[in-house]
Chains A and B, each alone.
Chain A
Amino acid sequence: MSLEVIGISVLWLFLYGYLIVASIDFGAGFFAYYARVSKREHIMSKLISRYLSPVWEVTNVFFVFFFVGLVGFFPDTAYYYGTALLLPGSVAIILIAIRGSFYAFGNYGSKDNTVYLFLYGATGLLIPAALSTALTISEGGYLEETSEGVVFLAGELFTSPYSWSVVALAIVSVLFISASFLTYYADRAEDVDSRAIMRKFALWWSAPTIGASLLVFAGLRDHNVEHFRRALDLWWMFGLSLLFFLIAAFLIYSGKRYGTAFIMVMLQFFFAFFGYGASHLPYILYPFITIEGSVVNETMGTALVIVFILGLCLLIPSLYLLMRLFLFDADYVKGKK
């Protein structure tokens, strides 16, 4: 495998990791806020905070990892995306900053402050929307290269049906992933009330997830035909994604094996995400950056891969320990520790 393919696969894997853990996190914030305003807090908030407290920082790192790695492996992306994303990127950073800080303020500082919880919950849905613009821009058509540099066509972005369908998909996926995870977590905690609420949410958001995915496909056909064709060539990946979705929805509907159901959801997004990523290649940013053209020099690329492998040797056992202690420790989940 060539260096650039290794690089982009590693990065895509991390973005996928972020997609899953961040979705759980973003959705949980929203549900926690929802629970408070609908006065069902006593049931759900404990469950949510028990899961989130030890892991919220780790979520953030996945994201940092992705963009530091992207600039490391493909320095040209810094130039184009950097210029284009100044505004949407800044908005996303600000939202992430507000969310992270107010989570800590609310959770460790004053537990019953509704404003803090609102800021935390609301930003959870806005961040995916802001971040998804980066994916939209990667399809091309929103940047123009002039003699003075790269110009970002914000008007185009805001009026494009494709960009809105991506935003919609991002938000409903977040709610769906999060709800199906929390259903499983509530089940582990033997918290029947929370489980019932979360199960309803998961079922409620399942159909829109598929609906939004179809919209994105339709939007892509109008926006970037080439990419759409390449996606059709990889139809089996999207087919598998749909299959896993159906299994997951069936399991949640029939109310058993929530753990398997969540793994199915993860597989559903895995195939959709990698199908999308693979069909996007060789372009990173259509039509300016391809992976071959922008890859970092070989010495640095090799050094990055070595560090990456060493880093994983350190991270995987640590992550395993974290999950052992908090996610899969039945007593902790039930709130006994």
Chain B
Amino acid sequence: MLTAATLMFHVIFATIGVGIPVMIAIAEFLGIKKNDPHYLLLARRWARGFTITVAVGVVTGTAIGLQLSLLWPSFMQLAGQVIALPLFMETFAFFFEAIFLGIYLYTWDRFKNRWLHWLLNIPIVIGATLSGFFITTVNAFMNTPQGFDLLDGEAVNIDPLAAMFNPATPTKVFHVLTSSYMTSALILAAIAAFMILKKKGSFTYHKKALKMTMIAGLIFTAGTALAGDLSAKFLAKEQPEKLAAAEWHFETESNADLIVFGTIDENNEISNEIRIPGALSFLAGNSFDTEVIGLNEFPEEERPPLWVHYAFDLMVSIGMYSMFIAGIFVLFSFIKRFNEHNKFLLMGIIASGPLAMLAVEFGWVYAEVGRQPWILRGIMTVDEAATTSSSVGIAFGLFLALYAVLGFFCVRVLLKMFRNKPAEAELEQRFPGGKL
């Protein structure tokens, strides 16, 4: 529970942490290239807000790092033998990013050549993306452990690289990275759309921001959808119980139906659902004849809880919605006849930001709960791995309070920061008369 709470809180900041640097780099690039102070200011203001979220991301990330050992001592004792390598490399990536982020934030006006400052983005983006990569390989390992043999509960014949590049790694990493980029783009787009809708401040500035984030958003949502599709195919092959639980798929069969929404009762009877005939088989293997393994093949105590279906559906629906909205916007902005800034579209975009973050949460809930009861699939259950200490309850209460406080102040500080200094005032101050 405590790990779940910490992770869910951390994921918000981690997603932003991986995605925003890319957006900042793009904005600064456009600004220098086009000689446009609007984009430069965008990069600057995003970067300023970013530091606040990075701070919270860093401290919650530190918390998880320690909690792994504190709450799952037996798991770490075993898995530490096998996955120490990516964990260790992750801290290097993090270190690298931290150093250059510090330099980046304090050297805006120190270099004569703006490109030199832009170059600092590269190590930041690499660091952020690599730390996302390394940590995801650890999670992938927990889903499809390999690279060692088990001898009386001890890990032997260890192959660190095989453990890192396990079957789940490629799809997981791909999906995590694209969805982080997508979520960050949509959140920034939501802010811009909100400012336009409320008719606050400089239109040109926010319109440029919206267009840029929406185009990026469309590309990243498409990438996310592709990655999601690949993930489903991977699950069908390597972790069929997870996919089956998400789709309430009990009997092994070909031409299996995809179930959208619906409810399930204690006898596993499904009602209120939308059935798409054969689509699950298609999802699993690009053909209606693909045989999809059902839950009945697994003993009852090794099945994941069935409510993960809802998390899965919500994640997919939000993903579809985001792609639709971003697509409409980009289409409208290229065809002169339509007004891409009409009220409904703007409201749709505003919704897409928080929704995307929710989708990230749903996705993680599905991925993590879908692997229950295992912490190391097929090797160690969650119960065996948990600490025996009796103080977990107190710690849980303390951390919950901490996250509430941090969340509250983080939002408050961010709002205050941008309200006190609107974009147009800062634009005039930094670039008088709109000149560079």
Which of A75, A87, A105, A314 contacts B394 (CB under 8 A)?
Answer: A87
- Which of A20-28, A214-222, A299-307 is the contact stretch? A299-307
Question: Which residues from A are CB-within-8-Å of B65?
Answer: 64, 67-68
Contact with A along B78-108 (1 / 0, CB 8 A): 1011101101111110111011111101110
Complex Cα spacing A308 to B54, Å = 25
- Output the nearest chain B residue to A60 by Cβ-Cβ distance: B58
B328 in contact (CB, < 8 A)? no
Which of B66, B98, B399 contacts A67 (CB under 8 A)?
Answer: B66
Complex Cα spacing A25 to B44, Å = 26
Given known contacts A103-B55, A315-B96, is B62 in contact with A300 (CB within 8 Å)?
A: no
- Output the nearest chain A residue to B109 by Cβ-Cβ distance: A337
Complex Cα spacing A104 to B187, Å = 21
B406–A101 contact, CB under 8 A?
A: yes
* Distance to closest chain B CB from A200 (angstroms): 30
A64–B91 contact, CB under 8 A?
A: yes
B70–A57 contact, CB under 8 A?
A: no
B348 in contact (CB, < 8 A)? no
A98–B402 contact, CB under 8 A?
A: yes
Given known contacts A57-B58, A304-B88, A307-B88, is B398 in contact with A90 (CB within 8 Å)?
A: yes
B195 in contact (CB, < 8 A)? no
* Distance to closest chain A CB from B1 (angstroms): 14
A152–B102 contact, CB under 8 A?
A: no
Given known contacts A89-B66, A96-B62, A297-B158, is B94 in contact with A61 (CB within 8 Å)?
A: yes
B388–A83 contact, CB under 8 A?
A: yes
- Output the nearest chain A residue to B106 by Cβ-Cβ distance: A54
Question: Which residues from B are CB-within-8-Å of A53?
Answer: 102, 105-106
Q: Which of B48, B71, B92, B158 has the most CB of A within 10 A?
A: B92
Given known contacts A58-B95, A82-B73, is B402 in contact with A97 (CB within 8 Å)?
A: yes
B66–A93 contact, CB under 8 A?
A: yes
> In residues 101-149 of chain A, which contact B (Cβ within 8 Å)?
101-105, 108-110, 148-149
B316 in contact (CB, < 8 A)? no
* Distance to closest chain B CB from A297 (angstroms): 5
B159 in contact (CB, < 8 A)? yes
Which of B71, B76, B95, B406 contacts A97 (CB under 8 A)?
Answer: B406
Which of B72, B78, B98, B389 contacts A152 (CB under 8 A)?
Answer: B389
B100–A318 contact, CB under 8 A?
A: yes
* Distance to closest chain B CB from A288 (angstroms): 12
Question: Which residues from A are CB-within-8-Å of B78?
Answer: 75
A97–B62 contact, CB under 8 A?
A: yes
A307–B69 contact, CB under 8 A?
A: no
B395 in contact (CB, < 8 A)? yes
Question: Which residues from B are CB-within-8-Å of A79?
Answer: 73-74, 76-77
Complex Cα spacing A68 to B67, Å = 11
B14 in contact (CB, < 8 A)? no
B342 in contact (CB, < 8 A)? no
Question: Which residues from A are CB-within-8-Å of B87?
Answer: 68, 71-72
- Which of A225-233, A261-269, A319-327 is the contact stretch? A319-327
A208 in contact (CB, < 8 A)? no
A63 in contact (CB, < 8 A)? yes
**Tally of B interface residues using CB under 8 Å:** 74
B388–A311 contact, CB under 8 A?
A: no
Given known contacts A58-B95, A65-B91, A105-B409, is B85 in contact with A303 (CB within 8 Å)?
A: yes
Which of A98, A105, A319 contacts B52 (CB under 8 A)?
Answer: A105
B81–A101 contact, CB under 8 A?
A: no
* Distance to closest chain B CB from A19 (angstroms): 17
- Output the nearest chain B residue to A65 by Cβ-Cβ distance: B91
- Output the nearest chain A residue to B73 by Cβ-Cβ distance: A82
A94 in contact (CB, < 8 A)? yes
Question: Which residues from A are CB-within-8-Å of B389?
Answer: 83, 86-87, 149, 152
> In residues 259-311 of chain B, which contact A (Cβ within 8 Å)?
none
B199 in contact (CB, < 8 A)? no
Which of A72, A86, A315 contacts B71 (CB under 8 A)?
Answer: A86
Question: Which residues from A are CB-within-8-Å of B92?
Answer: 307, 311, 314-315
Which of A57, A94, A299, A311 contacts B102 (CB under 8 A)?
Answer: A57
Question: Which residues from A are CB-within-8-Å of B62?
Answer: 60, 63-64, 93, 96-97, 100
B4 in contact (CB, < 8 A)? no
Contact with A along B94-132 (1 / 0, CB 8 A): 111011111101110010000000000001000000000
A55 in contact (CB, < 8 A)? yes
A58–B98 contact, CB under 8 A?
A: yes
Q: Which of A65, A72, A98, A110 has the most CB of B within 10 A?
A: A72
- Output the nearest chain A residue to B88 by Cβ-Cβ distance: A72
A4 in contact (CB, < 8 A)? no
A33 in contact (CB, < 8 A)? no
Question: Which residues from B are CB-within-8-Å of A82?
Answer: 69-73, 76, 387
Which of A69, A71, A94, A103 contacts B69 (CB under 8 A)?
Answer: A71
What would 15 more interface pairs be, CB under 8 Å, given A68-B90, A300-B160? A61-B91, A75-B84, A80-B73, A82-B76, A85-B70, A87-B395, A93-B63, A100-B59, A108-B413, A150-B388, A303-B160, A303-B161, A307-B92, A315-B96, A318-B96
Interfacial residues, chain B to chain A (CB-CB below 8 A): 48, 51-52, 54-56, 58-63, 65-74, 76-78, 80-82, 84-85, 87-92, 94-96, 98-103, 105-107, 110, 123, 155-156, 158-161, 387-389, 391-392, 394-395, 398-399, 402, 405-406, 409-410, 413-414, 416-417
